[in-house]
Chain A
Amino acid sequence: MTDRVFGQPVKRVEDRRMLTGGGQYLDDLGHDALQIAVVRSPYAHARVRDIDVTDALDVDGLVAVYTYEDLIGPMAEPLPLLIPHPALTHGRTQYALANGEVNYAGEAIAMVVASDRYTAEDAAARIVVDYEPLPDVVGVAAARTATHLVHEDVPGNVGANLVQEFGDARAAIQVAPHRLELDLSIERSASTPLEGRGTLARWDEESHRLRVWSSTQTSTGLRAALAAKLELDLVDVEVITPDVGGGFGVKIVHPWPEDLIAAWACRRLRRPVKFTEDRREHFISAAHERGQLHHIEVGFDDEGRVLGLDVRFWHDHGAYTPYGLIVPIITSTQLLGPYKPANYRVEFDSLYTNTVLVTPYRGAGRPQAAFAMERTMDAIAAALGRDRVQVREVNFIQPAEMPYDNHMTFQDGRPLIYDSGDFPATMAKLKKLVGWDEFEGVRTAAHAEGRTVGIGLGCYVEGTGVGPYEGGHVHIETSGKVKVATGLTTQGQGHATVFAQIVADELGVPVEDVEVVTGDTRRFGYAVGTFASRSAVMSGSAIALAARAAKAKALRVAADALEANPDDMEIVNGKVKVKGSPGQEIALGTVAVLSNPLRYAFDKASRSATQFTVGDSGKPPVAEDDEPGLEGRDYYSPPRSTFANGMHAAIVETDPETAEVRILRYCVVHDCGPMINPMIVEGQIHGGVAQGVGGALYERMHYDEHGQLLNASFMDFLMPYVTEVPDGIEIDHLETPTPLNPLGIKGLGEAGVIPVSAVLAAAIEDAEGIPIRSMPISPSDLWELRRAHRDTATEGND
């Protein structure tokens, strides 16, 4: 067992349970619970004049109906603005139940609690709400024009305006040899996990405690929110995260109205209450992301070196801003990618619209950023008639320049300093993988067959592992089994496996002896959550440190028992040994027994730790600076984020008649530092790329001008099936470790999705010879572009 499991494609320990139907997701729990159904606004913007529940009261099985009027104290206050920012001068959040006004179609107005969901929906359907419709503000253009306002007291619909810059971009552009302007747009998509949101709440009147299960990315966040809203002490609230059927960002934003009502109602009713979100509700009342418009001005020299970059963008944040400015701040900073423009200025407005709120979705502002920067690079190359790779290369930050200070403030309020990466090497790998230099031959051969193909590429740098901290607890049982807990949650990333790999190596135990629990506040109360590609970096590091603490103690206790020097000892396969002295060893479980001085022997093993058996009678059984038990607890809190990076390339074929786009090849080179489990790394990349393809070619939120989401179902929201994703994603890795954490690792959860729209836009543009400035693009869109392009060309000839 001296082989390191870190870096091995260890099979996932969670799989067997999930493969045999033993997974436990939120709605698999609480079969005895009452169910919630929600009355939601059909209007995007309206005043609620009256709510008549009379008809609902006849429904057999109805237990309660709640409207805003029932709420008191903190429950009647707006939901928290989770991440305040000085630039967010006009932050607004919704109420748990609408207080007189609704600002998006789907906003909760009343909640029904009934014996089951069928009955709850029967009752909800009978509640009559009288609305006074107000003018709708939908889309960035309408928000900017501000003919109408979403919130009466927010002038211009502007929630925030933020400028960051270094140097003098505008002046640099003025004097640059070449200049370009681009207008770009990216539409909305959404996380859309296969499992929606959900909350189950139980109130124990005898112990005066609230226990909540939630399909969440942050159990500690929800716990704190519930305690505050329900005026309970934190110790009286427990939040448990069962298996979670995907998150991708949307489950980080708590409290949702339904969380609060479920918990509040279960306490009032003294019965368990559950909310299980259905698919339609997920579309109209969870959260979306991505919608931004960019105006870019860039000045560059003859080689394509960017001398000045001035980016103005408008971010549609929906009706409320519970998650602050995280998404546009990430866009504005991560836009820089692997490049070092001499001067940079970025300014954004974060705008209110009468649509579902916007909070991070995997990538969180980076797909827009990559789209803006990579389209700019391609435009520079086109303007100069230079190779797209070469233009990027002259702009790359070089490895010798690391750590590289970008002179910006990142989403965590800390300096944007790249810690590691070798961008030229990553590019060299990508060129080789996709066959960049041989592509003209491919194109010619395709043309000969009457086929149209194109190639595109895109680069990104991703700040991962943002703070403030995560913690880990490693507890060694007297059986020798190791129990690990960390506070952040799991939605399919295989934490139970990768954290076990880390602990197995640190402690010297078989990986199958390590059991990991995540997202259970009973086991670990201090945590932030799972987002921003931070779990491996943050909890992985914390757990490694905790395991080191446990190991140090194990060696100390064993050294005492074996009368050896701890420095001469090691743990191999669960046994603490004196190096080079075969036979001088003690099982880790026994060390655990010895670590806890006992008065009572509960079993055979513990006899050896009772008071007449061990210990120096002249010393306290537990030393002054020690604790009983064989465990370690530690936290990891980095000074700033660590920056992973990657580059993707794709070859596409476009149908000359139908304008359908087919991805012939998709290649990824990624640098997340040392990989804990390459199988899981590749799985994360696969999933990210598929989501990226969805966002580039299929998915969008079709709002009409009245704020109605026209495609609020899987029938019309076109999440890709297998038939829409590339058949094969080719992956290569570069592993440049970060100096910022004990394992040298960088995050990767979001990586796959980030550059896909940029890459596919570039490839389609290359195939078609038509500038692609807006994504996603459907065959109909491409066909219309062709037509417009042809018309323009014809006019030009006239």
Chain B
Amino acid sequence: MTEAVHDVRLRVNGVPREVNVPARRLLSDVLRHDLQLTGTHVGCEHGVCGACTVLLDGAPVRSCLLFAVAVDGHEVTTVEGLAEDGEMSAVQRAFENCHGLQCGFCTPGFLTTITAGLRENRNPTRAEAREMIAGNLCRCTGYQNIVKAVLEAAGS
């Protein structure tokens, strides 16, 4: 039996994209494998690690907890969409300056989360900076330099 497929139209990083996928196809898989935007990573597929975080209409969400078909018509921003004209964003630069990444696998989820977080709160306190990233797992950095990067990005 062949599985039914659905037309899904998304605006990804400002570019209209269209895929034809089964209803069960996760947004994370559509981004990574159908659109080959592999910057979004998958670390647990049960919504705990945050590596797959993307912005849905500007708000951070777990792309592994969304069916692509359910966000048909919406706007998605991935890590590939954070730099502007080849210039890294303030958050990306801060990660580079502060050594906020090691293996880099969890990093895209942090970048999208912090990008949205700083839009909401331009001048987080140290405690707020920690709270901002409290839903993302990193196994390499011990988070110390990620917190530093949030504060540096906010200050820039």
**Residue ranges of A at the interface with B (Cβ–Cβ < 8 Å):** 9, 11-12, 14-16, 18-25, 27-28, 31, 60, 116, 118, 192-195, 243-246, 248, 278-279, 491-494, 679-680, 682-683, 686-691, 713-715, 719, 721-723, 725, 727-729, 752
A194-B43, A714-B48, A714-B137 given; A23·B104 CB < 8 A:
yes
**A686–B144 touching, CB < 8 Å:** yes
Point out which of A118, A691, A714, A723 has the most chain B C-beta atoms below 10 A from its C-beta.
A714
In the A-B complex, the 6 residue pairs with the closest CB atoms: A21-B39, A245-B105, A492-B103, A690-B142, A18-B104, A492-B102
Tell me the smallest distance from the CB of B103 to a CB of chain A, in Å.
3
Tell me the count of chain B residues lying within 8 A, CB to CB, of chain A: 60
**B102–A687 touching, CB < 8 Å:** yes
Task: Report chain B residues within 8 Å CB of A683.
Answer: 99, 102, 140-141, 145
A21-B78, A27-B42 given; A729·B142 CB < 8 A:
yes
Task: Report chain B residues within 8 Å CB of A21.
Answer: 37-40, 78-80, 82, 108
Contacting A at CB under 8 A, from B139-156, are: 139-147
Contacting A at CB under 8 A, from B44-60, are: 44-46, 48-49, 51
Tell me the smallest distance from the CB of A7 to a CB of chain B, in Å.
16
**A194–B138 touching, CB < 8 Å:** yes
**A15–B142 touching, CB < 8 Å:** no
Complex CA gap A725/B96 in Å reads: 22
Task: Report chain B residues within 8 Å CB of A491.
Answer: 103
**B111–A25 touching, CB < 8 Å:** no
**A18–B46 touching, CB < 8 Å:** no
Tell me the smallest distance from the CB of A678 to a CB of chain B, in Å.
10
**A691–B139 touching, CB < 8 Å:** yes
A–B pairs, 6, beta carbons within 8 Å: A19-B111, A23-B38, A686-B142, A691-B139, A691-B142, A721-B136
**A245–B82 touching, CB < 8 Å:** no
Complex interface bits, B86-124 against A, C-beta within 8 A gives 1, otherwise 0: 001000100111010111111110010000000000000
**Chain B residue at minimal CB-CB distance from A497:** B99
**Residue ranges of B at the interface with A (Cβ–Cβ < 8 Å):** 1-3, 22, 24-25, 32-33, 36-46, 48-49, 51, 78-80, 82-83, 88, 92, 95-97, 99, 101-108, 111, 126, 130-131, 133-147
Can you add 6 more A-B contacts, CB < 8 Å, to A192-B139, A691-B142? A682-B99, A683-B140, A683-B145, A687-B102, A714-B49, A715-B48
Complex CA gap A12/B82 in Å reads: 20
Point out which of B49, B51, B137, B143 has the most chain A C-beta atoms below 10 A from its C-beta.
B143
**Chain A residue at minimal CB-CB distance from B25:** A118
A11-B97, A14-B104, A492-B102 given; A690·B111 CB < 8 A:
no
Complex CA gap A583/B51 in Å reads: 54
Judged by DSSP, the binding face of B is loop
Task: Report chain B residues within 8 Å CB of A243.
Answer: 103-105
A18-B104, A21-B78, A714-B46 given; A193·B99 CB < 8 A:
no
**B134–A245 touching, CB < 8 Å:** no
Tell me the smallest distance from the CB of A17 to a CB of chain B, in Å.
8
**Chain B residue at minimal CB-CB distance from A246:** B103
Complex CA gap A24/B41 in Å reads: 10
**Chain B residue at minimal CB-CB distance from A15:** B96
**B102–A494 touching, CB < 8 Å:** yes
Tell me the smallest distance from the CB of A427 to a CB of chain B, in Å.
24
**B142–A721 touching, CB < 8 Å:** no
**A246–B139 touching, CB < 8 Å:** yes
**B145–A19 touching, CB < 8 Å:** no
Complex CA gap A279/B28 in Å reads: 15
Tell me the smallest distance from the CB of A557 to a CB of chain B, in Å.
37
Task: Report chain A residues within 8 Å CB of B42.
Answer: 27
Complex CA gap A727/B128 in Å reads: 12
**A686–B141 touching, CB < 8 Å:** yes
**Chain B residue at minimal CB-CB distance from A35:** B33
Complex CA gap A695/B142 in Å reads: 13
Complex CA gap A388/B51 in Å reads: 43
**B83–A20 touching, CB < 8 Å:** yes
**B101–A195 touching, CB < 8 Å:** no
Task: Report chain B residues within 8 Å CB of A728.
Answer: 144
Tell me the smallest distance from the CB of B87 to a CB of chain A, in Å.
10
Complex CA gap A328/B26 in Å reads: 43
**A18–B22 touching, CB < 8 Å:** no
**Chain A residue at minimal CB-CB distance from B108:** A21
**B139–A12 touching, CB < 8 Å:** no
A246-B140, A725-B142 given; A194·B130 CB < 8 A:
no
- Of A18, A682, A687, A689, which is within 8 A of B139 by CB? A687
- Of B2, B43, B46, which is within 8 A of A715 by CB? B46
A16-B88, A195-B41, A715-B48 given; A722·B134 CB < 8 A:
yes
**A60–B1 touching, CB < 8 Å:** yes
- Of B36, B40, B80, B146, which is within 8 A of A722 by CB? B146
Task: Report chain A residues within 8 Å CB of B126.
Answer: 727
Complex CA gap A727/B134 in Å reads: 12
Complex CA gap A192/B48 in Å reads: 14
Tell me the smallest distance from the CB of A24 to a CB of chain B, in Å.
7
Tell me the smallest distance from the CB of A282 to a CB of chain B, in Å.
9
Task: Report chain B residues within 8 Å CB of A492.
Answer: 101-104, 140
Complex CA gap A11/B100 in Å reads: 11
**Chain A residue at minimal CB-CB distance from B42:** A27
Complex CA gap A248/B38 in Å reads: 23
- Of A11, A194, A727, which is within 8 A of B103 by CB? A194
Point out which of B49, B83, B140 has the most chain A C-beta atoms below 10 A from its C-beta.
B140
**B135–A193 touching, CB < 8 Å:** no
**B104–A687 touching, CB < 8 Å:** no
Tell me the smallest distance from the CB of A698 to a CB of chain B, in Å.
12
A686-B141, A714-B49, A725-B143 given; A279·B43 CB < 8 A:
yes
